[in-house]
Amino acid sequence: MGLRERKKAETRAALSWAAIQLTVERGFDGFKVEEIAAAAGVSPRTFNNYFSSKAEAITSRHLDRLLRFAGELRRRPPDEPLWDALAGAALAEFEPGPEVLAHPAPDPAQWAAGLRVMVTEPALQGEFLRAGAAARAEIAAAVAGRTGTDLGADLYPHLVAAAVLAVVDTAVTHHLRTSGAVPAEQSLAEGFALIAAGLPAPH
């Protein structure tokens, strides 16, 4: 990625993170696009160059993370077992970016409570579904390339992609359910391990 593309990706990430923080703090209707831009240190016009709405800005973080996951999966060692590679790619993408380090989340329990409200916002749910659908296709393509399956003819890569999204969604939901007490990374690792083991019955 060149310098220009990297700067654009950083601006996009900063805007999305600012939108998420404002939503957690004030609710979806409690702020304007201008405040997102100000929090990210750019102009409202710059915001409009990246996103068409607050909802798109908020959910783009989820979409970008999943698309990076697909790219990371393609870069994993070819001899690494598939489910180990999937878990490794997912965990790599949960590392905090510079925008998070510059503007960290507050108390974990308070943050989780705000995120629980955010993800139930009707205006956002459709955007999250669209993001998942777009990412599923990329993940399936990465799985097909890794496993030598046919993206058009075989069920397998699509089923794996759907399972990946289910693990990610469930891990994040469990993190929020426990008010941040269980790190999302821990649930991700456990989720992929359980899927790889065939979801054995709990002891």
The verdict on residue 30 lying in a domain is no
The verdict on residue 123 lying in a domain is yes
The verdict on residue 34 lying in a domain is no
Tens digit of each residue's pLDDT (9 = 90 or more) over 28-43: 999 999 999 999 999 9
Note down the domain range covering 122. Answer: 58-196
Tens digit of each residue's pLDDT (9 = 90 or more) over 100-125: 888 888 788 888 888 988 989 998 99
The verdict on residue 113 lying in a domain is yes
Q: CB–CB of 124/28 below 8 Å?
A: yes
Q: How many domains does the chain have?
A: 1
**Residue closest to 188 by CA, chosen among 88, 80, 75, 72:** 88
The verdict on residue 37 lying in a domain is no
The verdict on residue 129 lying in a domain is yes
Phi, psi for 74 (deg, rounded to 5):
-65, -25
Q: CB–CB of 58/16 below 8 Å?
A: yes
**Residue closest to 142 by CA, chosen among 165, 170, 172:** 165
The verdict on residue 50 lying in a domain is no
Return the CATH number at 192.
1.10.357.10
The reported pLDDT for the residue numbered 98 is: 85
The reported pLDDT for the residue numbered 1 is: 67
pTM, full prediction: 0.88
